[in-house]
Each structure stands twice: as C-alpha cells, then as structure tokens.
C-alpha cells in the first residue's frame, strides 16, 4: 500500500548502520480526496503546489499553502485558547475538551499530531495518557466517533487468522493488547479499555519513535463483569459475562497465533489484564514470543529505579538497599512484580538468595498484612509472607497503620488502586521512619486512585520526604519556602525503551536480564545533585533521550545473552561490534520523527 524509502548517507556499511537516515519520498497508492481523508498522508493546507498537481489535489484545497511550522503554531494557538476559555470549568470537562481537540487532529493528520505531541510531551502526556485516558475509557461509548486499532471478540473465535489481514499496514512492529479487565485503578471497563493501548502506543511514538504506521492497538473483548456497562444501552462491547478458564485462554492463544503468523517480528505488550491472567499469559507466552507484561515487568523496573534513588537520597551507598524496610501496599500484578524484582536486586547486592532478603519486605493487600498464617496465599506472595509476631504485635491481617507504626519503614509504596489509602495518620506515622529521607510512592492511577496526593504527603509526612506518584501532580510549595519535588513513577519511563530495544536487537524473547539492565539504566540516569533535590526520575521532557539509553541497554543485553537476531540489515555481529555509545546512537537514529515526506503516487 505504501513504503517509505530511506536513503543511506554513506557508502561504508558500518557508518551506514549508524548514520541518520535522510527521509525519502513516500509512495502512495491513492490520489485526490482519498489522500486528504487518510491521516497518514494528509498534510491539510501543507501540500505544495507540485504535489497538488501530482496527486490530483488542485482545487480540493484553498489556494494558500501553509507551512508545517505555521500549522503547528495554529494548532497550539487553538489549544491555548481552549485552555483560556475553559479556565472556570470543572477539571473533567477541561480534560475531555483537551483530549477531543488532540484526538481530532490525530484522526485528521497524524504527522502534525505526533509533532505537537513530541514538542509538548510534558503538557500533552496527561491528556493522551494517565490521568485523562482513564476518563476517556470510562466515557468511551459516548465519545466514540470512529474506531482505532483492532477489536477481536469472543464471537470471532476461529476467524482471527483471516481477520488479522484486515489491518491495512503491511508491517507492524508494536502491538499493545488489553482485555479491559483492570483498566488503571478503575476496574473492568470491557471494550472501553481500548483507550489504554491507544495511549500507550502514542507514548511509543512520542518517546521511542516507533513509526505510527507500524503500531497496532488491540482490544480483546471477552465480555465484561461490569454490571453498569452490561446495562448501558450505548455500551459498544459484547453484552455477556467475561469468558473464563479454557474458553478465555483459547481466545488469547488464537490472537497470538494470528498476530505472529502475519508479523513474526512484532512485539506484543500485555496491558491492564486482571492479575490472574496477567501472570498466566506472561508465563504462557514469554518463552515463545517477543512479549512482556508492562504492569508486572515495566512497573517493577521503574519502581526499582526509584527505590535505588531513595537510598541515594538518604546519602547512603547503594549497597544499603539490603537494609531498607519496604512496605508494599497492593499484592496484585504490579505490587508482586515490584516486590519480586526488588528482592532479586537486594539479593544480588547481598550475594544471597532472594528468600534470604524477603524479611525486609512487608506486603499488604485488601485483607491487611500477609503473613504465613494467610489462608490460600498466592504462590507469588508466599515468599514475602511475614512470620506472625516476629515484629511484636504484628500478626496476620495487621492494618496498614499498624504496620507503618511498628515497622517504621524506609519506603511506603502503594500499588493498591485505592485512592487516599495513605491517609493523614498513615503519613504522620512515616515521620517516625528509620530513614533520614523517607520515601512515599503513591503509584496507583489515575489521579483519584493515587494512595495520597503530593500535597498531603509533604504536609503530613514532612518536608524531608521524597515523593513519587503514578499520575502527575504539581510540585508542592513547602512551609520552609522550598519546593517539594514531585516525581512521576510510571512505567512510561521503561516500556518505550523495552519495546524499541527489543525491536532493534531483534531479540527472540524478552529476558529478565534485559529488564534488569533497563531498570539499572534508568536508575543511573540521575545525578547525585538531582537525587539530593528529591528528583528520582528525569523530567518527561527528556523522554526520547531516556528511551535511547534504555533501548541501548536492552539491545546490549540481548546481544550478550545471545537472544538478539538482528534487525533489518543489522545482524547480531554488527550489534556485538558496536560500542556502548554507538549502540545509543544506533537506537536514536532509528527513531521515527514526524516531518512531511514528499508524496509520490504509484499504483
Ligand atoms: N505507576 C505505574 O507505573 C503503575 C503500573 C502498574 C499499575 N499501576 C497501578 O497500580 C494499581 C494496581 O494495579 P494491579 O495491576 O496490581 O491491580 P490488581 O488488581 O492486580 O491488584 C490490586 C491489589 O491491591 C490490593 N488492595 C485492594 N484494596 C486494598 C486495600 N484497601 N488495602 C490494601 N490493598 C488493597 C488487592 O488485594 C490487590 O492485591 C492500579 O491503580 C494501577 O493503575 C501503576
Ligand atoms: O497506564 C499507566 O499510566 C501506568 C500503568 O500501566 C497502570 O496500569 O496504571
Ligand atoms: Mg497498565
């Protein structure tokens, strides 16, 4: 249907692999108004005269040619006037209005959309990603105007292998799939969860430079157990209870077989699956396909980087990590992924078995502290079950407040999805923490599900804390006149680099070693000075730079672990011969960047 020719700048193979590709013309098999209605090719008023002639566009557009820069400025003007005109409106109304204006541009002109997104990532990420994406999912049926991505439902059983060919792009590099069963902290939103793969893939384009013509958001609709949606006459998904057991897994199996039959090199990111299926599908597919679960694995790496930063913020050496007492609230896919990865890191540092360091972790779920007395304990939680009474007065099911008071943890980390669970008394109890710089991570999304607000954390736990949240909060003005820095502990710092590094190495699977390297890379990104100021993660403004580093760490580990099969004309030997800096350059040079390519018509 189309292809993008890239001209190599230099003769020598090696420099060619590392060189920045000069954008070539784009071959398009359409003409006239079909081009104007195709967001991949549409340039609106930006088509030059020669192109208007060549493509049969003359007369279909007003005569004046507006440059890309002018179009960019024009869009930003309308966005800013929307901001000005809605200043007194409720926040949800403003957020949805902002999402709508961006979505309209996305539907019309992808090049301009991704350019404004990249150039304004800090202001636009909260609109296309958390928290607004949560609101969009909740209101999806009402907001629906046109489809985006692919929808595979339980009714499509037996048809997926042919359906996958309905997708218009010849090549797909990155797929994000959800079954809508645990959308952020908002629960089962059924088919409406499609907003999450769309938002994640927008971040892939903005942060990792994955070509937007090679991304595919996927909704696997196996029903919903959300009564409200089942009774909503506008609900767009299957009106039936969720499939379970064999029936469920056979649908996921069929999708995976179909996707990999058509695109054997694609990477599939599982996103926002309820816990049992998150773990089950990861175990089932990770040794067969290029796939990972972002909520389990991406989150774990981001949290580990933050936990190591919290050690440095106390002025302690990293090896002190093995002495940190860490309370994890939420024993779901995210919480369990974090605790397991953190324990593995502590064990590596201590030269011990992860079981030997498990006692420094305290795991709390909806039934309180998990101890060895817990009935029907999840096998993944079992190694972290405390011995009841080991800390005096702390038994099975102890409340969060009791645990914080008795343990005096260095870190309190929430992945419970329960808004406000770190209430005043819990935060005040953190004042007695054994850490000189207690860390509070309220990682649940979206904003209303955060375990506490940034303002409350500094107000009740003290000005000396370090704070991170999954959704963005504004920095806090402290009583001492200083600024309480708010970090965003969100898997967006890792998943783009994991996906891009896997793509560019051609890794056949995504190993624990690759994920560990990604986390360590993120952890080492911050300078001591930044850490001292309470900055545990970089600004999202530098997300492409972070992704280049993380992507390179993934590539190098894939090569070292001999799972890299190469990408395009770059074979594993080329990758092996690249220095660290050259690998970063290779990753950076392979990031897609939105510019208008000259369009050439060819049937
Ligand atoms: N910041 C990030 O990058 C990031 C990444 C992944 C998930 N999350 C967020 O983490 C949250 C949980 O995700 P998940 O996939 O682990 O969900 P999940 O449903 O698998 O797990 C939720 C866990 O919280 C526990 N819980 C519920 N109520 C509780 C209470 N009152 N007290 C203590 N624990 C309670 C449950 O028992 C369960 O163990 C969601 O809000 C999600 O948005 C954030
Ligand atoms: O989507 C996010 O913002 C992070 C995470 O994947 C989540 O499920 O909350
Ligand atoms: Mg998620």
Q: Does residue 190 sit in the same domain as residue 55?
A: no
| pLDDT band at 525; cut points 50, 70, 90 | very high
| pLDDT band at 167; cut points 50, 70, 90 | very high
389-408, pLDDT tens digit by residue? 999 999 999 999 999 999 99
Helices (H), ranges, 234-322:
245-262, 275-285, 299-313
Is 216 within 8 Å of 150 (Cβ atoms)? yes
**Residue list, annotated binding site for (S)-malate:** 182, 445, 490
Test site for ligand 1: of 126, 334, 451, 495, most ligand atoms within 8 A of the Cβ: 334
Query: Does the pLDDT at position 3 exceed 80?
Result: no
Across the chain, what does the average pLDDT equal? 95
Q: Residue 24's pLDDT is what? A: 80
544-555, pLDDT tens digit by residue? 999 999 999 999
Question: Residue range 164-178: average pLDDT?
Answer: 98
Query: Does the pLDDT at position 430 exceed 80?
Result: yes
Q: Does residue 469 sit in the same domain as residue 515?
A: no
Question: Residue range 56-82: average pLDDT?
Answer: 98
Query: Does the pLDDT at position 20 exceed 50?
Result: no
Q: Does residue 331 sit in the same domain as residue 347?
A: yes
Q: Rounded to the nearest 10 degrees, what angle do helices 91-108 and 68-85 cross at?
A: 160
Instruction: With H, G, I as helix, E, B as strand and everything else as coil, classify residue 391.
Output: coil
Domain enclosing residue 267, as ranges: 134-289
Q: Does residue 329 sit in the same domain as residue 476?
A: yes
Q: Is 514 inside a domain boundary? A: yes
Q: Which residue has the tokens 């109304």?
A: 93
Q: Is 16 inside a domain boundary? A: no
Question: Residue range 206-214: average pLDDT?
Answer: 98
Strand partners, 483: 477
| pLDDT band at 359; cut points 50, 70, 90 | very high
Query: Does the pLDDT at position 72 exceed 70?
Result: yes
Instruction: With H, G, I as helix, E, B as strand and everything else as coil, classify residue 363.
Output: strand
Q: Is 4 inside a domain boundary? A: no
Distance 35 CA to ligand 3 centre (A): 35
Question: Residue range 494-519: average pLDDT?
Answer: 98
Within 10 angstroms of residue 513's Cβ, the number of other Cβ atoms is 14
Question: Residue range 117-124: average pLDDT?
Answer: 98
| pLDDT band at 23; cut points 50, 70, 90 | low
Of residues 243 and 15, the one with the higher pLDDT is: 243
Instruction: With H, G, I as helix, E, B as strand and everything else as coil, classify residue 175.
Output: strand
| pLDDT band at 13; cut points 50, 70, 90 | low
Catalytic member of 79, 129, 493, 586? 129
Q: Does residue 203 sit in the same domain as residue 105?
A: no
Distance 162 CA to ligand 3 centre (A): 29
Is 415 within 8 Å of 444 (Cβ atoms)? yes
Q: Residue 22's pLDDT is what? A: 57
> Which letter does DSSP use for residue 596 in this model?
P
Catalytic member of 30, 200, 325, 405? 200
The Cα–Cα gap between 225 and 472 comes to 30
Q: Is 6 inside a domain boundary? A: no
Query: Does the pLDDT at position 14 exceed 70?
Result: no
**Residue list, annotated binding site for a divalent metal cation:** 271-272, 295
Tokens at 369, concatenated: 């502290």
Q: Does residue 275 sit in the same domain as residue 308?
A: no
Q: Does residue 155 sit in the same domain as residue 267?
A: yes
Q: Is 127 inside a domain boundary? A: no
Query: Does the pLDDT at position 6 exceed 60?
Result: no
Query: Does the pLDDT at position 11 exceed 90?
Result: no
Task: Using a pLDDT cut of 90, give the percent of the chain over it.
Answer: 95
**Residue nearest to ligand 1 atom 19, measured at CA:** 332
Q: Does residue 419 sit in the same domain as residue 523?
A: no
Question: Residue range 202-218: average pLDDT?
Answer: 98
129 flagged as catalytic: yes
Distance 16 CA to ligand 1 centre (A): 46
The Cα–Cα gap between 311 and 211 comes to 38
**Residue nearest to ligand 2 atom 2, measured at CA:** 130
Query: Does the pLDDT at position 186 exceed 90?
Result: yes
148-164, pLDDT tens digit by residue? 999 999 999 999 999 99
Test site for ligand 1: of 130, 279, 416, most ligand atoms within 8 A of the Cβ: 416
The Cα–Cα gap between 348 and 327 comes to 20
Instruction: Write down which residue in 57, 80, 113 finishes a domain.
Output: 113
Q: Is 343 inside a domain boundary? A: yes
Q: Does residue 97 sit in the same domain as residue 155?
A: no
The whole-model pTM stands at: 0.96
Distance 447 CA to ligand 3 centre (A): 14
Q: Is 10 inside a domain boundary? A: no
Cα–Cα nearest to 109, from 75, 142, 132: 75
Q: Is 603 inside a domain boundary? A: no
Specify the ligand 1 atom closest to the Cα of 416: 24
**Residue nearest to ligand 1 atom 30, measured at CA:** 366
- Strands 150-153 and 486-488, sheet pairing: unpaired
Q: Does residue 150 sit in the same domain as residue 269?
A: yes
Our count of domains for the chain comes to 4
Instruction: Write down which residue in 463, 489, 515 finishes a domain.
Output: 489
Distance 272 CA to ligand 1 centre (A): 11
As for ligand 1, residues whose beta carbon falls within 6 Å of it are: 182, 184-185, 275, 295, 299, 302, 329-335, 364-366, 415-418, 421, 443-445, 449, 470, 489-491
Q: Residue 5's pLDDT is what? A: 33
**Residue nearest to ligand 2 atom 6, measured at CA:** 295
Distance 143 CA to ligand 1 centre (A): 27
460 flagged as catalytic: no
Q: Residue 4's pLDDT is what? A: 35
**Residue list, annotated binding site:** 182, 271-272, 295, 445, 490
Q: Does residue 280 sit in the same domain as residue 180?
A: yes
Q: Does residue 337 sit in the same domain as residue 357?
A: yes
The Cα–Cα gap between 52 and 64 comes to 12
ipTM rounded to 2 decimals: 0.99
Strand partners, 270: 177, 293
Question: Residue range 78-87: average pLDDT?
Answer: 97
CATH number at residue 103: 1.20.1370.30
Q: What is the largest CA-CA distance in the chain?
A: 82
Instruction: Write down which residue in 454, 489, 524 finishes a domain.
Output: 489
């Amino acid at each position: 249907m189309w292809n993008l020719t890239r001209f190599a700048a230099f003769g020598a193979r090696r420099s060619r692999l590392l060189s920045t590709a000069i954008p070539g013309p784009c071959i398009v098999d359409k003409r006239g108004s079909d081009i104007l209605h195709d967001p991949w090719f549409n340039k609106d008023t930006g088509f030059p005269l020669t192109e208007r002639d060549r493509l049969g566009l003359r007369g279909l557009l007003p005569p004046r040619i507006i440059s890309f820069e002018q179009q960019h400025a024009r869009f930003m003007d309308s966005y800013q006037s929307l901001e000005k005109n809605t200043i007194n409106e409720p926040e949800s109304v403003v957020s949805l209005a902002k999402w709508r204006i961006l979505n309209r541009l996305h539907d019309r002109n992808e090049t301009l959309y991704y350019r404004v997104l990249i150039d304004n990532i800090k202001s636009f990420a909260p609109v296309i990603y958390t928290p607004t994406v949560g609101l969009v999912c909740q209101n999806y049926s009402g907001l629906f105007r046109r489809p985006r991505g692919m929808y595979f439902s339980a009714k499509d059983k037996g048809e997926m292998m042919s359906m996958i060919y309905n997708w218009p792009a010849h090549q797909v590099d990155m797929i994000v799939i959800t079954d809508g069963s645990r959308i952020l902290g908002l629960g089962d939103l059924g088919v409406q969860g499609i907003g999450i793969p769309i938002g994640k893939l927008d971040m892939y384009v903005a942060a990792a430079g994955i070509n937007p013509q090679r991304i595919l958001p996927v909704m696997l609709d196996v029903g919903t157990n959300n009564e409200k949606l089942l009774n909503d006459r506008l609900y767009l998904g299957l009106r039936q209870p969720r499939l379970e057991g064999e029936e469920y897994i056979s649908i996921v199996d069929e999708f995976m077989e179909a996707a990999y039959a058509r695109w054997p090199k694609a990477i599939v990111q599982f996103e926002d699956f309820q816990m049992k299926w998150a773990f089950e599908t990861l175990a089932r597919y990770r040794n067969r396909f290029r796939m990972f679960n972002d909520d389990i694995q991406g989150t774990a790496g981001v949290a580990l980087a933050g936990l190591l930063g919290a050690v440095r913020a106390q002025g302690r050496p990293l090896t002190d990590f093995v002495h940190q007492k860490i309370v994890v609230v939420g024993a779901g896919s995210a919480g369990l992924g974090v605790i397991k990865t953190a324990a593995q890191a502590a064990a590596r540092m201590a030269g011990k078995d992860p079981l030997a360091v498990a006692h420094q972790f305290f795991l709390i779920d909806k039934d309180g502290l998990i101890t060895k007395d817990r009935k029907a304990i999840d096998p993944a939680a079992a190694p972290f079950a405390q011995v009841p009474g080991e800390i005096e007065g702390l038994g099975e099911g102890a409340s969060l407040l009791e645990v914080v008071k008795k343990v005096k943890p260095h870190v309190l980390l929430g992945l419970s999805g329960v808004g406000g669970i770190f209430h005043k008394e819990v935060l005040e109890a953190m004042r007695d923490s054994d850490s000189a710089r207690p860390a509070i991570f309220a990682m649940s999304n979206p904003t209303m599900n955060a375990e506490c607000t940034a303002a409350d954390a500094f107000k009740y736990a003290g000005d000396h804390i370090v704070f991170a949240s999954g959704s963005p909060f504004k920095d806090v003005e402290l009583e001492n006149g200083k600024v309480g820095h708010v970090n965003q502990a969100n898997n967006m710092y890792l998943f783009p680099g994991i996906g891009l590094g896997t793509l560019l190495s051609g890794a056949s699977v995504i190993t624990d070693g690759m994920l560990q390297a990604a986390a360590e890379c993120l952890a080492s990104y911050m300078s001591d000075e930044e850490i001292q100021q309470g900055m545990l993660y970089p600004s999202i403004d530098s997300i492409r730079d972070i992704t280049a580093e993380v992507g390179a760490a993934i590539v190098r580990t894939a090569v070292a672990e001999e799972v890299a099969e190469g990408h395009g004309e770059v074979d594993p030997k080329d990758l092996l011969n690249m220095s660290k800096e050259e690998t970063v350059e290779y990753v950076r040079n392979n990031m897609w960047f939105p510019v208008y390519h000259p369009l050439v018509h060819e049937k």
